Amino acid sequence: ETGVTQSPTHLIKTRGQQVTLRCSSQSGHNTVSWYQQALGQGPQFIFQYYREEENGRGNFPPRFSGLQFPNYSSELNVNALELDDSALYLCASSGADTQYFGPGTRLTVL
């Protein structure tokens, strides 16, 4: 167990809807990163938050947005869902260089 929690575990949405995924980081970790993992692929970096500020972003469109709260928990918001957004969404927390992943949220877009 890494101490990183995510909710919900599974989610089914329809195309065009909006979704919010949540992550609680490991105690003492002030950095949270979000990744998208499509079936059969490695995780792809979406963005990272450090002390409530975005601190790096991957090649994802603006409809992917996020927040980090004073307790270092984080949200990932996706607007105007597309079928290709179906994936496992992973949150990782880090205090130094190493990232520890939560269990993930499986999002299915129909």
When asked if residue 41 is in the footprint of other proteins (CB under 8 A), the reply is yes
The residue (of 24 and 31) whose beta carbon lies closer to other proteins is 31
Q: Among 50, 52, 61, 76, which residue interacts with other proteins (rule: CB under 8 A)?
A: 50
State the minimum distance, in angstroms, from the CB of residue 16 to other proteins: 28
> What's the first-to-final CA gap in the chain, in angstroms?
32
Compute the distance between CA of residue 71 and CA of residue 20 in angstroms, rounded to an integer.
18
- With contacts defined by CB under 8 A, name the span among 14-22, 40-48, 60-68, 69-77 that binds other proteins: 40-48
CB 28 within 8 A of CB 95: yes
Structure tokens at 31: 């950095």
Structure tokens at 20: 């919010």
Residues of this chain that interact with other proteins (CB under 8 A) are: 2, 31, 33, 35, 40-45, 48, 50, 55-56, 58, 88, 90, 92, 94, 97-104
